[in-house]
Chains A and B, each alone.
Chain A
């Protein structure tokens, strides 16, 4: 199975700051990676697909990138509505595997 190691597990960030989350894949997943945001009592919301593509309706302050086996989600100029848990998902192969999640709070 492909392991997705996500960091950090939690972070408190000031409004307007830039923030990056990273998932490291244990084997090649060839950009088959999505980023999701989950708010309390809500279903996950797709933010980024195929590592770098912004889902329709997602603010442009969100972006995805890749460096080798490291996949990153960056939020530029953090806004209060960005709080929640973010997690990555690899769908290169089954079983699908998720990162452990990053809880983002506003400082």
Chain B
């Protein structure tokens, strides 16, 4: 059974940092590109970042470029999202996902508020 389990979310003040993790199991993680996708409360889905299977290709949404860093450790089957200079508009449920296979985690909530 495929599982993606996100962690690391929480309440953080504007301007601070947070690092999300996503542990994968049930498939060969190292073979797949992965994404972070977020959903603000009551809103639609917004793609955040992508990393290829071997980390050679990395893309970011303009809204997070320069503030967020996506990375992965294939030996640990883990995807990361380092978020810095957080803003209130970053408040959302963050999913790790492989959209092509339809693999999504349950999401982790990040709330940016003073």
Known contacts: A44-B45, A101-B44. The answer to whether A96 contacts B104 by CB under 8 A is no
In the complex, chain A residues whose CB is within 8 Å of the CB of B105? 43
* A55 touches B (CB below 8 Å): yes
Contacts of B102 in A (CB 8 A): 34, 36, 45-46, 49, 55
**Contacts A43-B95, A43-B105, A94-B50 known; A87 to B61 CB distance under 8 Å?**
no
Report the number of A-B residue pairs with Cβ-Cβ less than 8 Å: 46
The number of chain A residues touching the other chain, given as a range, is 10 to 19
Smallest CB gap from A45: residue in B:
B102
Any A CB within 8 A of the CB of B89: no
A96 CA to B44 CA in the complex, in Å? 13
**Interface residues of A, Cβ cutoff 8 Å to B:** 34, 36, 43-46, 49, 55, 87, 89, 91, 94-101
